[in-house]
Structure 1
């Protein structure tokens, strides 16, 4: 049964213009959204372990943010999911060791990205790395994301389409 435009919830695209939302609705109605995503992002990356993810993230950090704090822990986290609206998470865990306060930086990436396109994994990683320099989602934050990954905004939009498609398929 085909969906009607009014029946399609685009919760991941709420911040975008009505015109863009209508274009996505049309892809869904015409059942072309999966083909669109496969055509643009048909490959799956090969980073499957926390160790490989740690290496990947540190290489990106080294290329773009050499002076940023060291990342102590990186992992795919199966507790991060769309219900919590978190695809990635950066934290600074502070502990007292001896008489000193130690802060450890962690990056967690939602496990759904184990089977995603390499472009989507890179976009999420860049997003979390940018938080090492910019805490808020402000103009400087997005400028840094675009610097580290040209085309970041398009990838973020397409990732939101991908999340919508995943939800429709389930």
Structure 2
């Protein structure tokens, strides 16, 4: 069984996940660990949520002009969220804007998963690459970042195989 969201993890971990899938206990595990979904359903609410986190941890970083759920993001290619830097010519000036797009699959996800994705994308405001400084910033904003990233991968695996969870 191909576990595309979990490539790079040790075979022993993958075998445990395969067993949970075949015994159909992965969904129960996720629902027990994350029993609730968040109520941030609109782009306006998402923008407010992201800006609150940004002002708490990254006051000095670049501004965000747009934050939206995007149903065109392809989670199959591991794009759960996207931070873009858009440059536009307006008259004789070059205007640059930062935008954040979150995969719409996270509209009905647990709040911890949405938070992990937002923290990841906010970290790109300061660190463009996935390097040590990037992950240090992620864990500064969300101390449980690495566990949540793994659990998001489990969640996406579940959705891919079984469909909706909540």
Q: Distance in 2 between matches of 1:67 and 1:15?
A: 35
Choose the corresponding residue for 2:42, options 39, 49, 57: 49
Aligned residues: 163
Say which SS state the counterpart of residue 72 (structure 1) adopts: strand
Alignment of 1:14-163 (within 5 A): 14-163=7-156
**Structure 1 runs, 4 residues or longer, greater than 4 Å off:** none
1:113-169 CA-to-partner distances (Å, cap 9, x unmatched) read: 100000000000000000001111111111110110011000000000000011110
Q: Distance in 1 between matches of 2:143 and 2:126?
A: 18
The equivalent of 1:3 in structure 2 is: none
User: TM-score, structure 2 length as denominator?
Assistant: 0.95
The equivalent of 1:5 in structure 2 is: none
What is the CA RMSD across the aligned residues, in angstroms?
Answer: 1.0
